[in-house]
Structure 1
Amino acid sequence: MGEATATATAEAEAPVSSWVVEMEKTIGEMHIDPAAEMARWKRHSIYRVPERIKNLHNSKAYQPELVSLGPFHHGDPELLPMEEHKRRAVVHLVKRSGRPLREFVAAVAEVAQQLQDAYKDLGDEWRGAAGGGTDRFVQLMVTDGCFLVEAMRMDALRGKVHEEYAPNDPVFSKYGYLYLWNYIQSDMVVVENQLPLLLLQRLLIVLDHHKYQNASRVSRLVLDSLCPWRRHLVGINHLGLHPLDILYTSLTHGDHQERTGSTAYVMPSAMEIYEAGIHFRGRRQDREEVSEPDGV
């Protein structure tokens, strides 16, 4: 009993680290509310890929190839050439709408906090009114959002936008549709290159208030641009988080019975392709035998 008392006395007299003092203060002040914590983490929907994961794979697979969308890759040297075309997209969209640019900016500024919260670990340069961070963030959102709306419109019109853009426009033209759209489409689903669908809805409402108040129309617009061959697979009746979220939802959820048309296309299996007369060869050039695929 005496030893236990002596030990307790020694522990009480031992110096307490500043970390212990700080943590005890936090423990005493913090009220754990699961509902509040769930709401806190629910705000985030766009994340950076951990560097360790990038190093385990091809790191370039996590980088956009042609255009930055959002703050995470804004300013990357190899993507800077598209910045001029983004600004041109703003000019064309605003002129076509007949609305002043200030309406688009105001519509985005109203939800700036929600848009900022969507990006986990958003840099300080994009936050705060004092240093102009929030204004810079809104400008980025309007610019990138207008570019994406114009790019999706070009896709919907199959590049036939010559009434508003020059026939030889390097991006918004038949040429851009044929040679650049696939890269834009691919960049739309890069994890770190997402734009919140809330942003697109705010811009589209300025363009057409009645049509795009319906969240499902915004989601459908994005989905049709990402995978037109599956556009009749599932019905999206809510506003998704971002393009990658909408694509994921369409590919992994919903019953095939939800198809609303007969033009849906699903890639056949390897066995079906083989039975149709298409043969497979090994990757090595010196391999001459035709291999039969296993059932899929």
Structure 2
Amino acid sequence: MSSENPIQMMAHYKSSIIQMVPYFMREENKENSDDYEPNVVSLGPYHHGKEKLKFLEEYFKPMAVELFIGNSSVGEDDLMVAILGEIRCAKSCYLQEFTSKYSDEEFARMMLRDACVNLNDIGPTEGHVLYKKFWMIQHLGAVVYANIGRDMYLLENQVPFQILKTLFFFIYNTHDGDKFVENVENFCFKIFFHDRDIEKPMTPIIWGGNPFTFLKFFEE
């Protein structure tokens, strides 16, 4: 039997779920309510299917998967199998009222497409990142591309870190977790400082808690 008291157990449960912005915060900030909403792309189930996000949902996300796979011998079906192996973990990272409407297959497809939107910006090398960045700007425009970066750091617009890591390891045939974390840190650092030539600090980040998301890196 767990030695945690009910309050501790509830705190642990909440810390393992990607939360939504509290209602009172939305009410107090009605003039800037868009601060909590994605402008162009949904990541995860909370904003999935919204009308204003359908262009990237239907046009860009399937291409994001193709861009992520590239010349790899791994196919989309292989990635789906990998995600389905993590599907219980992935669903547990969101409020149940948003996951219960999807079958495992549907949810895995969502996770795959949304994760690839993230992953195309983080490696495995600078050359890969620059090529994909140029490709996305060419097909979507600089303004949409910039808004994708903005949407990645919204509280309600996150993909579980475990899914990102699973796909990264699978497509690049590596289990170098430290390298993956370094790639994510570098991406977040560039977003924060708008690609200015500022030296990234060498102090390692000590991680704790679950789930990890891009937002967690950005906070640190």
> What TM-score do you get using the length of structure 1 for normalisation?
0.60
**Of residues 209, 214, 218 in structure 2, which corresponds to 1:243?**
214
Displacement of 1:137: 0.6
Shift of residue 146 of structure 1? 1.4
CA shift for structure 1 position 209 = 2.6
Residue 195 of structure 2: aligned partner: none
Distance 1:113 1:88 in 2: 26
Query: In the TM superposition, what is the alpha-carbon distance from 1:101 to its structure 2 partner?
Result: 1.7
Cα distance, 1:43 vs. partner? 6.4
Correspondence for 2:200 among 202, 227, 231: 231
Partner of 1:194: 158
- The residue number in structure 1 matching 2:72 is 97
Aligned to 1:113: 88
- Asked if residue 150 in structure 1 is aligned to residue 125 in structure 2, the reply is no
Shift in Å at residue 103 of structure 1? 1.7
Q: Counterpart of 2:38?
A: 64
Q: Distance in 2 between matches of 1:139 and 1:77?
A: 19
Larger radius of gyration: 1
SS of the aligned residue for 1:37 comes to: helix
| Contact 2:61-2:114 within 8 A present in 1 as well | yes
2:101 to 125, 129, 143: 125
Contact 2:62 2:113 in 1 (8 A): yes
Q: Would you tell me which structure has more helix in proportion to its own residues?
A: 2
Cα distance change of structure 1 residues 162 and 200 upon mapping to structure 2, 3 Å threshold: closer
Residue of structure 2 aligned with 1:134, choices 104, 126, 134 = 104
1:75 lines up with 2:52 in the alignment: no
Flag the structure with more relative contact order, 1 or 2, with Cα contacts below 8 A and sequence separation at least 6. Answer: 2
Q: Identify if the C-alpha distance between structure 1 residues 216 and 153 changes in structure 2 by more than 3 Å, giving closer, same or farther.
A: closer
Following the alignment from structure 2 to structure 1, what is the Cα–Cα distance between the partners of residues 165 and 133? 26
Q: Are the counterparts in 1 of residues 188 and 217 from structure 2 also a CA contact under 8 Å? A: no
Checking the alignment, whether the CA contact within 8 Å between 1:185 and 1:226 is kept in structure 2 is no
> Are 2:185 and 2:217, in contact at CA under 8 Å, matched by a contact in 1?
yes
Maintained 8 Å contact 1:66/1:184: yes
44 and 161 in structure 1: CA distance in 2 versus 1, 3 angstrom threshold: closer
Q: Does 1:51 align with 2:23?
A: yes
Correspondence for 1:281 = none
- How much does 1:153 deviate? 4.8
Contact (CA 8 Å) 1:116, 1:122: kept in 2 or not?
no
* Deviation per residue, 1:190-229 (Å, 9 max, x gap): 000011111110101111232xx23332222222222224
Does the C-alpha gap of structure 1 residues 43 and 103 become closer, same or farther in structure 2, counting only changes over 3 Å? farther
User: Which residue in 2 is equivalent to 1:221?
Assistant: 183
Normalised to the residue count of structure 2, the TM-score between the two structures is 0.78
Aligned length: 204
Give how far 1:106 is off: 1.3
Tell me, yes or no, if the aligned pair for 2:121 and 2:133 is still in contact at 8 Å.
no
Q: Which consecutive unaligned segments of at least 5 residues does structure 2 have?
A: 191-197
4+ residue segments displaced more than 3 Å: 151-163, 178-181, 236-240
Looking at structure 1, the residues matched to 171 and 131 of structure 2 have their Cα atoms a distance apart, in angstroms, of 20
Unaligned runs of 5+ in 1: 1-30, 127-132, 250-296
Provide the aligned C-alpha RMSD in A. 3.1
Q: Deviations over 1:164-192 (max 9, x none)?
A: x59x8423xxxx4x443332221111000
